[in-house]
Structure 1
Amino acid sequence: MRPRPFTSESYSEGDRPEAWRDVLASVGLQPTAATTTHAGHATAVRRNFQVVTLARLSAGPQSVSPRTDVVADHPLVLLPLEDGVALKTAAGYQIVAARHLLLLPRAGDWSVSFQREMRAVVLSVASEPAYRRRATPQDGEMRVLPPGGFGSVFAQMMELAARDLDALSDVEWTALARSLADLLPTFMCQHSDTASDLGGSSASKAATLHRLCETVERCLDDPDLTPAKIAGAEGISERYLQKLFEGAGTSFTHYLRERRLQRTWADLSNPAEAHHSISEIAFRVGFNDSAHFSRTFRQRFGLSPREFRQHEAERQTVATATADQRGWPQQALAQLRSRHVALARKTAAPFSAHDVEIAAAPRHHHLAADASRVHWGYFSHSLPPQVEIGSGDTITIETLTQHASDDPERMIEGDPGAESVFHWTRDRKNVDRRGAGPLDASIYGRGAGEGFGVHICTGPVAVKDAEPGDVLEIRILDIVPRASRNPDFEGRVFGSSVAAWWGYHYKEFLAEQNARETVTIYEIVDDDDAPYARALYSYRWEPQTDPFGTLHKTYDYPGIPIPPSSVRRRHDVLDGIRIPLRPHFGVIALAPREAELVDSVPPAYFGGNLDNWRLGKGSTIYLPVSVPGALLSVGDPHAAQGDGELGGTAIECSMTGTFQVILHKKNEFTNQPFADLTYPLIETESDWVLMGFSHPNYLAEFGAKGQSEVYATSSLDLAMKDAFRKMRRFLMNIKGFTEDEAIALMSVAVDFGVTQVVDGNWGVHAILSKRVFDHAPQN
């Protein structure tokens, strides 16, 4: 009766297809063919009560069909949560929009194809419910029911129940399962205006029509798309094309317009598309006249595109609780409705001696930090590389802390690189985009990017010949602090730490009415015996007006300059306390493959904001490559940090790192510790450190809503389970232990620690000492 969670992170690459096949079988489905068995990232939560099973599935593109060995009176009920779904029957194909219910007989020649990502809810009732009412469509009829009436009630009940399967008590789940089973016959009695029949077309005609629909889908961006163009591409006459569409109860013109409208409907309701204007969304599916598009959209959906986008944002706000975390606040994300935003892509200029300084050694590179070489608050696979290096090359990368403006006198003034990045006057801001939000600041008006992502990252660095499926080994050879270049403080090193509103502590003040944000400025002392940090002074955040005139009541936007006169400094803080240094980089990331703009705060499989102090000099991190060139970025330098990063930040301090980068091709993984790598793996001289997260790949798990959903659902329990699963997998597949041996070893020899609880996607790391294997037999 308890939920049965599934994650592909528990399994090696070779075992994933069979494990996923078992998940599908539990709800009466199977892969359409062995070649389509999914082997990528997947998650599922299933719950049973007697004959009722409800499941929430999330995986990559694939096609599923009914299991042939299941006999049941009731159809499967499948609710797609995203577009890009097609139902195939002997008669032909039908495109199924998101949240249109599919009623599927347990047997028959049908399949459902998820062409983008598989995100769906499945209800399976294996035998007649208590009231013995027949629910199966007569003669194996399949139905596709659009939202509306009782169907909408049933669909929302399924979706909400599936979303909260983990949280429901046994009593609540039992009542809900019985209700779903009892309501199914009533639901089945409802008449559907849409069926899977294609007007009696032959299988050959249906296949031809399917090809035509696929061609239309590929050509939606062509504003001059005509029946003649499609017919010519498929080698048939225009007249025959029109007859095929008429046989399906539509026309080419109507089908084309409907597909374009469905695509714009989906994109306008998608928070991940908020940085695109309505005109951009319309133009990229072939609407070349904004006024015509607006009229057509209103006629079809009853609202103008702008009204619809605003309505969807407000609906999502009501439906989702606000999460008090740094980065993408859910309420803000749900209200994304930007007017015109284009990704601020830097133009890749030819490399010169000024751009990339080549040291005397032939394969060493130097990447300086200035406004033209950093991206602030986001990752993107579309960023042009600042330099390309080869496997085995070394590179020195300058990084700046985004907190330097907490004390501009000590950490910015006199430093040309820092001044270039932080330059912000009433007339100009050198780095405008500071986060993955709208560039026009349409939500709160805080500034471009809205602060949804905060880290200054230098790069990206392309690695020659790196391809998806490879692994990048990044060795940290050296870390040097960046000294102040202000003549008043020249040669001294400073950093800042903020106990902020996104910190774990923020709702735990002894007096609730005294909730506050406090900034502490530190000096880094280079003591020969034991370098340390000492606090110089602190101040409480006071409302700050940025150079553009926006008032910031909280520490909500990166890089706001803090004039000394605007705060009251307290100098007698942490008197006599010396904090041991742990220099490391909070952010080491490869570009993720999923989204165009990815918030820099939540870490995941691609690395990112790991905030693990073990990433210091002498350590190595292995990361899976997911885009050509890998696109390595480094930032968020820290002088010291404790596990947990409880208050919200470490001692943030600008630093320069020297790295050696080694590319491991996919066919070279045999007997390597990074074989089958889908997560950040850290190696130190003495330990293996595996990084677990609440959601190991939140972008894939939640799809378009991933960058908000991850903040709302993170927990240490989920992160601990992920760390356990990864360590079990490491011990079984890399070290050759049985599952029982792996669990026994973990309990007595593996240290699990809280990495951070402030980055949206919470982290737990598992530390395995290499000494454990000193006397083990060698393979």
Structure 2
Amino acid sequence: MSPQILQPLTRAPERSSNGTGSIHYLPATRQNVLWGRLPCARDVGVLTIESGDEVTIDTISHEGVLEDQGRDPAAFFGRHGVPREFVLDDAIDLAASDFDHDPGSDGPHVVTGPIHVRGARPGDLLKMTVLEATPRVPYGIISNRHGRGALPGEYPLGVENVSVFAAVEAFEGIQVGTLPLVPGGDRVVRFPLDPFLGIMGVAVAGDVRAHSVPPGAHGGNIDINLLTVGSALYLPVQVPGALAYVGDPHFAQGDGEVALTAMEASLRVRVRFDVISQADALTQFGALGGPLAETTDFLVPTGLNADLGEAVRECVRAAINLLAARFGMDRTLAYAYLSAATDFNISQVVDRVTGVHGRIRVADFRG
């Protein structure tokens, strides 16, 4: 097991990546997180920044702190052979605190924020660009709980919920995740790591905090595994200051996230926050009704609906609208292009609201 542990308040960055704007550090202390709920209009930012600023943010994985795991990360991970010094202090502090978290009515996720971005107004877009995503620990958990996942009623096979420990190891010069082929066995399967945030979002309008599980126009628990370092998420601002937040850190996830969670593990991320005015947003993307992701290679429209088929249809409509706004493409021709050249992937099927995302190659429109 690698000894790198990023405890809170250690090794915070000193300068921004582009030499402009300011850089901030936001630890996941009890005062800086919400657990199971997402910010709304009545919340106040725990940090205030300018558009263009970068924030280094500690995130805490919910795996290991939840009530059905004992709400004692040191003991939970200790049963998997993890020494106390390899367990994050902020996770232990949160679990041991009197933080009001009701597993019956709240979601499981711990989110860091909200962050007030000066000048962000409803109608604008907030662009959140992931600049760094560094593992805070060398292990993670993949869970399957009764009544959840793609196969509820079939898995877990026993009466208890299942939390599978996944270690990080060096293999052929890279860091990989490992799982045994059989419980307690020596043979393992290895898979690549590609850290990303499952939750990136803005506050919802109104005075009621949103549940952390279902994603929506606010972003939230979208679980799009393309949102790795170098990628960005655009979200329609609903309240003044945007009140942005991040959480649900992953080391790896397959499209679908079928068991319920993927390789969940805490990250330290660096994110740049940029406000795009309503006028510029309409020119670049048209009228966005929900999250839009962007990578070096792809524009990534999304569809979110409790019905997977409707989520696909919403994503296709969003893709057509995007092509019309961004490239002036005729809608009938855009529909044909999408059928011939664009993959539509299932983001996840386990968050009450299912997610679909399209991958539109930007290289196809160069020149």
| Structure-2 separation of matches of 1:537 and 1:404 | 23
User: Is the CA contact 2:121–2:242 (under 8 Å) kept in the aligned structure 1?
Assistant: yes
Unpaired stretches in structure 2, ≥5 consecutive residues:
1-8, 70-75
Superposed counterparts of 1:564-713, under 5 Å: 570-572=183-185, 575-669=187-281, 671-672=283-284, 674-694=285-305
User: Is the CA contact 2:49–2:117 (under 8 Å) kept in the aligned structure 1?
Assistant: yes
Deviation at 1:588, TM superposition (A): 0.4
Superposed counterparts of 1:82-121, under 5 Å: none
**Is 2:344 the counterpart of 1:758?**
no
Superposed counterparts of 1:714-729, under 5 Å: 714-729=306-321
User: Is the CA contact 1:479–1:658 (under 8 Å) kept in the aligned structure 2?
Assistant: yes
Q: What TM-score, normalized by structure 1, do the two folds share?
A: 0.41
CA RMSD of aligned residues (A): 2.3
* Structure (1 or 2) with the greater helix fraction: 1
**Is 2:139 the counterpart of 1:507?**
no
| Structure-1 separation of matches of 2:185 and 2:227 | 32
| Structure-2 separation of matches of 1:631 and 1:537 | 43
**Is 2:57 the counterpart of 1:394?**
no
User: Is the CA contact 1:522–1:537 (under 8 Å) kept in the aligned structure 2?
Assistant: no
Matched residue of 1:402: which SS? coil
| Structure-1 separation of matches of 2:243 and 2:157 | 45
> Compared with structure 1, are the counterparts of its residues 743 and 472 closer, same or farther at alpha carbon in structure 2 (3 Å cutoff)?
same
Equivalence for 2:167: 523
Matched residue of 1:723: which SS? helix
Q: Which amino acid aligns with 1:389?
A: I
> Compared with structure 1, are the counterparts of its residues 472 and 411 closer, same or farther at alpha carbon in structure 2 (3 Å cutoff)?
farther
Matched residue of 2:189: which SS? coil
Q: Which amino acid aligns with 2:225?
A: W
Aligned residue among 12, 22, 34 for 1:375: 34
User: Is the CA contact 2:23–2:53 (under 8 Å) kept in the aligned structure 1?
Assistant: yes
**Is 2:73 the counterpart of 1:419?**
no
| Structure-2 separation of matches of 1:537 and 1:595 | 48
Q: Which amino acid aligns with 2:77?
A: P
**Is 2:111 the counterpart of 1:457?**
yes
**Is 2:336 the counterpart of 1:771?**
no
| CA deviation string 1:433-452 (max 9, x = no partner) | x2xxxxxxxxxxxxx36243
Matched residue of 2:338: which SS? helix
User: Is the CA contact 2:166–2:178 (under 8 Å) kept in the aligned structure 1?
Assistant: yes
- Higher Cα Rg: structure 1 or 2? 1
Aligned residue among 495, 500, 504 for 2:140: 495
Deviation at 1:687, TM superposition (A): 0.6
> Compared with structure 1, are the counterparts of its residues 379 and 537 closer, same or farther at alpha carbon in structure 2 (3 Å cutoff)?
farther
| CA deviation string 1:645-672 (max 9, x = no partner) | 0010011001110011111122333632
Unpaired stretches in structure 1, ≥5 consecutive residues:
1-353, 424-428, 435-447, 484-492, 539-569, 695-713
| Structure-1 separation of matches of 2:198 and 2:48 | 23
Deviation at 1:401, TM superposition (A): 0.2
Structure 1 segments (4+ residues) deviating >6 Å: none
Q: Which amino acid aligns with 1:380?
A: P
Deviation at 1:715, TM superposition (A): 1.6
Matched residue of 1:396: which SS? strand
Matched residue of 2:274: which SS? strand
Deviation at 1:742, TM superposition (A): 1.1
> Compared with structure 1, are the counterparts of its residues 505 and 372 closer, same or farther at alpha carbon in structure 2 (3 Å cutoff)?
same
Superposed counterparts of 1:171-320, under 5 Å: none
**Is 2:120 the counterpart of 1:466?**
yes
User: Is the CA contact 2:199–2:221 (under 8 Å) kept in the aligned structure 1?
Assistant: yes
Deviation at 1:594, TM superposition (A): 4.0
Q: What TM-score, normalized by structure 2, do the two folds share?
A: 0.86
| Structure-2 separation of matches of 1:641 and 1:617 | 15
Q: Which amino acid aligns with 1:507?
A: G
| Structure-2 separation of matches of 1:766 and 1:752 | 4
| Structure-2 separation of matches of 1:758 and 1:667 | 36
User: Is the CA contact 2:181–2:188 (under 8 Å) kept in the aligned structure 1?
Assistant: no
> Compared with structure 1, are the counterparts of its residues 481 and 528 closer, same or farther at alpha carbon in structure 2 (3 Å cutoff)?
farther
| Structure-2 separation of matches of 1:724 and 1:637 | 28
Equivalence for 2:73: none
Flag the structure with more relative contact order, 1 or 2, with Cα contacts below 8 A and sequence separation at least 6. 2
| CA deviation string 1:495-530 (max 9, x = no partner) | 000122211112345xx9856532110112245733
Q: Which amino acid aligns with 1:597?
A: R
Equivalence for 2:72: none
Superposed counterparts of 1:32-71, under 5 Å: none
